[in-house]
């Protein structure tokens, strides 16, 4: 008989964020728990400063370079020297200062773009994780949604769904197992001893 967990996933269900080097189901489950723990943050609960930085990075290329140059100059400009010992003595010293300044700016731009790309990848993976979590059957998806996305406590969820805390933990663990098997369909789910 064909076991659906042994089936290789097709290309339409690419498991974004699924680690390739996972050997056991418990390792995979721990990875999914960690990703669920940071789900809200990865989906975009950012500070206004982070949002403004993302807006700056996504502006038109020339405007972006000018805005970031102003921002970088404000932070690291060689004109901010307060100790007279660091004031350039001649043209060669000033050239060195400006070369260091421009090299620092290039590194700054590169690090900002890398951080933006990393945020996009995290947001995409978190969106896929949330989508898969919501595609699970009712009691599992509801409990996981309330616990991981809405950040409700176990007592609040148990009271709102009229279930005991033991039932809450049983359903949450079963939901994690289902979600993990969606990400890692080739790993065998360990059977509980009776």
pLDDT digits (tens, 9 = 90+) for 131-140: 999 999 999 9
Residue 114, domain member (yes or no): yes
Measuring CA to CA, how many Å separate 85 from each of 81, 82, 89? 9, 9, 9
- Among 81, 96, 120, residue at a domain's last position: 120
Residue 165, domain member (yes or no): yes
Cα dihedral sign, 66-70-73-79:
positive
135 and 168 inside one domain: yes
64 and 27 inside one domain: no
On the question of pLDDT at 57 being above 50, the answer is yes
pLDDT classification of 39: cutoffs 50, 70, 90: confident
86 and 137 inside one domain: no
106 and 57 inside one domain: yes
Domain hosting residue 71, numbered range: 48-120
pLDDT classification of 89: cutoffs 50, 70, 90: low
**Range 58-72 average pLDDT:** 67
**Range 65-79 average pLDDT:** 69
107 and 52 inside one domain: yes
Contacts of range 8-12, beta carbons closer than 8 Å, 24 or more positions apart: 8/185, 8/186, 9/185
Q: Count H helices, E strands: the chain?
A: 8, 0
């Amino acid at each position: 008989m064909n076991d659906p967990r042994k089936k290789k996933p097709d290309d339409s269900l690419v498991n974004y964020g699924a680690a390739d080097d996972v050997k056991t189901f418990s390792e995979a489950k721990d990875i999914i728990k960690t990703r669920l723990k940071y789900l809200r943050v990865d989906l975009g609960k950012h500070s206004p400063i982070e949002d403004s930085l993302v807006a700056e990075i996504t502006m038109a290329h020339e405007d972006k370079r000018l805005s970031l140059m102003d921002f970088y100059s404000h932070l690291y400009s060689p004109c901010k020297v307060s100790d007279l010992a660091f004031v350039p003595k001649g043209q060669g010293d000033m050239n060195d200062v400006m070369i260091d300044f421009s090299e620092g700016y290039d590194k700054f731009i590169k690090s900002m773009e890398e951080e933006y790309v990393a945020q996009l990848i995290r947001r995409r993976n978190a969106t896929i994780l949330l989508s898969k979590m919501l595609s699970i059957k009712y009691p599992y998806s509801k409990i996981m949604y309330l616990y991981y996305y809405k950040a409700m406590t176990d007592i609040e969820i148990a009271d709102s769904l009229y279930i005991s805390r033991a039932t809450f933990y049983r359903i949450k663990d079963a939901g994690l197992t289902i979600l993990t098997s969606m990400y890692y369909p080739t790993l065998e789910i360990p059977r509980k001893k009776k």
